Amino acid sequence: MKVLVAVKRVIDYNVKIRVKPDHSDVDLTNVKMAMNPFCEIAVEEAVRLKEQGVASEIVAVTVGPKAAQEQLRTALALGADRAIHVETEARVESLAVSKLLKAVVDEEQPDLVILGKQAIDTDNNQTGQMLAALSGMPQATFASAVTLDNGELHVTREIDGGLQTVALTLPAVVTTDLRLNEPRYAKLPDIMKAKKKPLESKTPEALGVSVESGLKLLGVETPAERKGGVKVGSVDELVEKLKTEAKVL
Amino acid sequence: MSILILAEQHDGELAAGTAHVVAAARAIGGDIDVLVAGEGVDAVAQAAAGLDGVRRVRVADDAVYAHQLAEPLAALLVALADDYTHVLAASTTTGKNVLPRLAALRDVAQISDILEVVSDDTFKRPIYAGNAIATVQSSDPLKVITVRTTAFDAVADGGSAAIEPVAADVSNASSRFIGEELAQSDRPELGSAKIVISGGRGMGSGDNFKLLEGIADKLGAAIGASRAAVDAGFVPNDMQVGQTGKIVAPELYIAVGISGAIQHLAGMKDSKVIVAINKDEDAPIFQVADYGLVGDLFEILPALEQKL
């Protein structure tokens, strides 16, 4: 079966972010960018499905600026067969991304779409669900295990009280949780080979999708900082302070 | 303004988070209805009707909703949404699963995990693992919102809302529930516990988490874990506190053997009082801890249990 994997270029997860002085947004100039960690897991899962003989072709797709092609090349180095770049410099919210991905799904007709459960910049946790809704597909979010069983997709999901397993008819959308797998590193020869793999560029206009949003970002602020506390010397002192000073025991 | 809240329920009981979502709805203002969808949900509907500020409880009782699958629940919400300006749910795995599906079907944006209601169309929410707070305004005709329950105080009981059944489209051919495996615990639920004690990689093994149990029992606390402890296989992942796990804001959070990575801090830094117990005095957790104790947790934990 054909698998479509959506990836996003985001600020590297180790970077301590700065809010712009005018509070309009987070400052992304000269900041290290990388593939969103949940998207890496999505790519890895697609590659494993291909290695098991379940998937026949993997198409990686991203929506974002020119530079996001780096993340598509990473996906290609990890094992994707070809890539589609929906290029836009605009700030695209989840709903618009979902509509763009839906247009790509309509063209590519994949049997399975895998996305990360959330991007670590916007922390929305929406795109997979929205894509599933727009494409009329069932969804399995927060997946920690995916298997194909008699033409049905069986997915174990991480839910608040533990785990839940659901069966989906294909085509379907799956979003990955952290424990689904441990992504591999791209090897240098694969990185070189990835440069020759096909990467197709499209625009939102060509896909007939408006990236307008009903949401407006009014401002971004730094959260209230916690005051540095004190170090105590012993368990006795700790319990004493929690009782008399903090009054939480 | 009229608001519909998707109730959260487990095993025939209303989840505590719903009372916090009602508080967020009251901050928005307007008539508040609660939707209870499930199978055999009379007790849940009664509990929801008792929440202060609720006008009406709408009940969809059918086997198709028994496991809160996204496909039938979103279809139900789409059918009801015409009557409302806002649809809210707790930012739990159920709320996160269902509401974006509703939003897309209604062609509106969703606002995730709100911390504060500025006005009926403007909300504050965390981005970048809680390292920045965004203020967003929605011009969509329907506002679809998930609520960070720890940011709103629960409303009290004492209401007496009307309970009405709703006609529901009960077809769902695309997804099927197979089974679930829930962690068993007598302790309070992690998301709503007043005290949380969490262990990290420094615990060394799953067995050593027993050292936390005695303390948790004495304090009536829930036990959490860092991602490192979960990934190392010490404890199941539903105990994980962090950006990718649960967000908690208890009165007291005790972090044991946890370094304090950005990802973990995103899940607990709104706790009222933070205590860190770590042998590395340079661990970043000490920068947010109100009280830090540097030392060997294998000596400190038994001493602490005895002292309580």
Residue B111 has pLDDT above 90, yes or no: yes
Residue A8 has pLDDT above 80, yes or no: yes
Distance CA B179, CA B181 (A): 7
What is the model's pTM? 0.95
User: Which comes out higher in pLDDT, residue B183 or B140?
Assistant: B140
A12 confidence band (pLDDT: 50, 70, 90): very high
* Chain position carrying tokens 């105080």: B153
In contact, B9 and B44? CB cutoff 8 Å? yes
CB contact under 8 A, A160 and B93: yes
Q: What is the pLDDT of residue A180?
A: 95
Question: H-helix or E-strand containing B199?
Answer: strand B195-199
- A15 touches B at CB < 8 Å: no
| Cβ-Cβ contacts under 8 Å, A235 against chain B | 293, 300, 303-304, 307
In angstroms, the Cα distances linking B188 to A70, A143, B221, B285 are 46, 26, 7, 24
| Cβ-Cβ contacts under 8 Å, B122 against chain A | 218
B255 closest CA partner among B300, B189, B192: B300
Q: How many residues does chain B have?
A: 308
Q: What is the pLDDT of residue B208?
A: 97
- Give me the interface pTM, i.e. the ipTM: 0.94
Distance CA A80, CA A48 (A): 11
- A17 touches B at CB < 8 Å: yes
C-alpha distance from A33 to closest chain B C-alpha (Å): 13
Please provide the average confidence, as pLDDT, over all residues in chain A: 96
Those of residues 95-154 in A touching chain B at CB distance below 8 A are: 95, 98, 117-118, 120-134, 137-142, 144, 154
Q: Where are the alpha helices (DSSP H) in chain A?
A: 37-51, 69-78, 94-108, 127-135, 188-194, 204-207, 235-244
Rounded to 5°, the CA angle B243-B246-B251 comes to 110
A248 confidence band (pLDDT: 50, 70, 90): confident
Residue A88 has pLDDT above 90, yes or no: yes
User: What is the average per-residue pLDDT within A189-201?
Assistant: 98
Residue A228 has pLDDT above 80, yes or no: no
Residue B110: strand, helix, or coil:
strand
CB contact under 8 A, B183 and A161: yes
User: What is the average per-residue pLDDT within A85-95?
Assistant: 96
CB contact under 8 A, A95 and B104: yes
- Cα of first residue to Cα of last residue in chain B, in angstroms, is 49
Please provide the average confidence, as pLDDT, over all residues in chain B: 96
B41 closest CA partner among B166, B188, B197: B166
pLDDT digit string, tens, across residues B149-204: 999 999 999 999 999 999 887 888 999 999 999 888 889 989 889 999 999 999 99
Closest chain B residue to A179, measured at CA: B231
Q: What is the pLDDT of residue A189?
A: 98
A182 closest CA partner among B231, B238, B246, B245: B231
Closest partner residue to B112 among A123, A132, A140, by Cβ? A123
Distance CA B90, CA A56 (A): 39
pLDDT digit string, tens, across residues A121-170: 999 999 999 999 999 999 999 999 999 999 999 999 999 889 999 999 99
Please give the structure tokens belonging to residue B213. 């149990």
Q: What is the pLDDT of residue A62?
A: 98
C-alpha distance from A193 to closest chain B C-alpha (Å): 32
Q: What is the pLDDT of residue B176?
A: 96
Question: H-helix or E-strand containing B278?
Answer: strand B273-278
Those of residues 32-91 in A touching chain B at CB distance below 8 A are: none
C-alpha distance from A53 to closest chain B C-alpha (Å): 24
Closest chain A residue to B191, measured at CA: A160
The partner residues of B195 in beta bridges, in order of sequence, read: B252
Distance CA A39, CA B2 (A): 37
Phi-psi category of residue A46: left, alpha or beta, with phi > 0 → left and psi -120 to 50 → alpha: alpha
B73 confidence band (pLDDT: 50, 70, 90): very high
The partner residues of B132 in beta bridges, in order of sequence, read: B127
Q: How many CB atoms lie within 10 A of CB A198?
A: 10
User: What is the average per-residue pLDDT within A209-213?
Assistant: 95
| Cβ-Cβ contacts under 8 Å, B243 against chain A | 120, 123
Residue type, A231: K
The dihedral of CA A71, A76, A80, A86: what is its sign?
positive
In contact, A149 and A136? CB cutoff 8 Å? no
Strands annotated E in chain A: 2-6, 9-11, 33-35, 57-64, 82-87, 112-116, 139-149, 152-159, 162-169, 172-176, 199-202, 215-221, 230-232
Closest partner residue to B134 among A141, A142, A217, by Cβ? A217
Q: What is the pLDDT of residue A223?
A: 93
Gyration radius of chain B's alpha carbons: 20
Q: What is the pLDDT of residue B41?
A: 96
Chains A and B: how many Cβ contacts under 8 Å?
254
User: What is the average per-residue pLDDT within A62-72?
Assistant: 98
Q: What is the pLDDT of residue B171?
A: 87
B216 closest CA partner among B262, B254, B182: B254
